[in-house]
Amino acid sequence: MADVAPPARIAFIGFGEAARAFLAGWRTEATFAAEVVAYDIKTDGPDAIRSAKLADYANDGVSAAATPAEAAAGADVVVSVVTADQAHAAALSVVEDLAENAFFLDCNSCAPQMKVKSAEKIAAAGGRYVDVAVLAPVHPRLHRTPLLISGTHAEAAAPVLATLGMSAEIRPGPVGAASSIKMVRSIMIKGMEALVCECVLAGRLAGVDEVVLATLEDTFPGFDWPKRSAYMLERVMTHGIRRAAEMREVALTVDLLGLEGRMARAIVGWQQEIGDLRLKASDYGADHGARADAILAALGKRAEVAE
């Protein structure tokens, strides 16, 4: 296979945790020299939110685009990392200015059927759509976070991603093959988070959380339930709104497979409710009890902690 040149210009549609993590990782690669431009919907928001996002651009050394189309114009690679409910809109927003043969990497956690619709629009605009499933949190591995990619252009995209030091495995099959794995996996991952929230919060109110977690450790030895519970609470506190949007897409995925996404819809509840509190987990230390108490206080509940 002939050598593949790294992209000269990369555009981000959405510039949150995932985008910033990928970029931070790329910049540890000696060969990385791409121009990077970004558009994030927060720059259309109130002044404080807009200023904070522009500060992210400045801190990370990226150029600000006024629109998604402006960001995509002339880019070799467009990386879409928005919330699940905005994934298709993000694809539509770049089609008018998408360069011929530009890769559109849809890294969003949305239903495979929706990704097929987005792929059709990108293809009609002359771009190369790639279904990307991000299989783990982007910290601490940054650009080396494991990815699955699928679709007609996955084989062409793989060496381009390799020039960026990314860890992408091709999942054979059409667009949707990679994201199907992500969606079904999320039932378990985000479902465990929701179960931990309900279990720990209820346990805290009843004053039995420590005992419950100890019995779980007996049943599932080595899991370290107190530490894992604190971590899962942090994930929901920090990313619950985004996770709720993803789980709505998961429910749709299950529905379209001919089942009813009951569990996926139930998971939305805790993810959304706790995410909407907008609590900063790091303000409450690393202990599951302190984080649970913060959530309960914000919900207007009071924990009866055993002395």
Domain borders along the chain are 9-175, 182-298
Beta strand residue intervals within the chain, DSSP E: 9-13, 35-39, 63-64, 77-80, 103-106, 128-134, 147-150, 168-170
**Rounded to 5 degrees, what angle do the CA atoms 66, 67, 73 make?**
105
Fold assignment, 182-298? N-(1-d-carboxylethyl)-l-norvaline Dehydrogenase; domain 2 (1.10.1040)
User: Residue 88: which pLDDT band, with cuts at 50, 70 and 90?
Assistant: very high
Give the C-alpha separation, 64 to 52, whole Å. 13
Instruction: Give the tokens for residue 223.
Output: 């899991």
What spatial distance separates the first Cα and last Cα of the chain, rounded to whole Å? Answer: 67
Q: What is the pLDDT of residue 97?
A: 95
pLDDT at 224: 97
Q: Determine the 3-state secondary structure of 12 from DSSP.
A: strand
Quote the CA–CA distance of 116 and 252 in Å, as a whole number.
Answer: 14
Residue 305's pLDDT band, with cuts at 50, 70 and 90, is low
Provide CB contacts within 8 A for 89, sequence distance 6+.
Answer: none
| Model pLDDT, residue 302 | 75
Number of residues in the chain = 307
Amino acid letter for position 273: E
CA angle 102, 58, 276 (to 5 degrees): 85
Fold designation for 9-175: Rossmann fold (3.40.50)
Q: What is the pLDDT of residue 2?
A: 56
pLDDT tens-place string over residues 235-266: 999 999 999 999 999 999 999 999 999 999 99
Q: Classify 131 as helix, strand or coil.
A: strand
Q: How far apart are CA 160 and CA 152, in angstroms?
A: 15
Query: How far, CA to CA in Å, does 72 sit from each of 50, 68, 105, 250, 282?
Result: 20, 6, 12, 28, 35
Average pLDDT of the residues of the chain: 96
One-letter amino acid for residue 176 of the chain = G
pLDDT 10s digits, 11-66: 999 999 999 999 999 999 999 999 999 999 999 999 999 999 999 999 999 999 99
SS3 of 68-93: HHHHHECCCEEEECCCHHHHHHHHHH
Confidence of residue 3 (pLDDT cuts 50, 70, 90): confident
In the structure, what pLDDT confidence band is assigned to residue 307 with cuts at 50, 70 and 90? very low
From residue 61, give the alpha-carbon distance in Å to each of 28, 34, 66, 109, 180. Answer: 14, 11, 16, 27, 34
187-219 residue pLDDT tens: 999 999 999 999 999 999 999 999 999 999 999
The amino acid that residue 182 corresponds to is K
> Any idea which of 2-6, 71-75, 133-137, 261-265 has the lowest mean pLDDT?
2-6
**289/204 Cα distance (integer angstroms):** 7
Q: How confident is the model at residue 298 (pLDDT cuts 50, 70, 90)?
A: very high
Banded pLDDT at 304 (limits 50, 70, 90): low
Cβ neighbours of 185 (radius 10 Å): 14
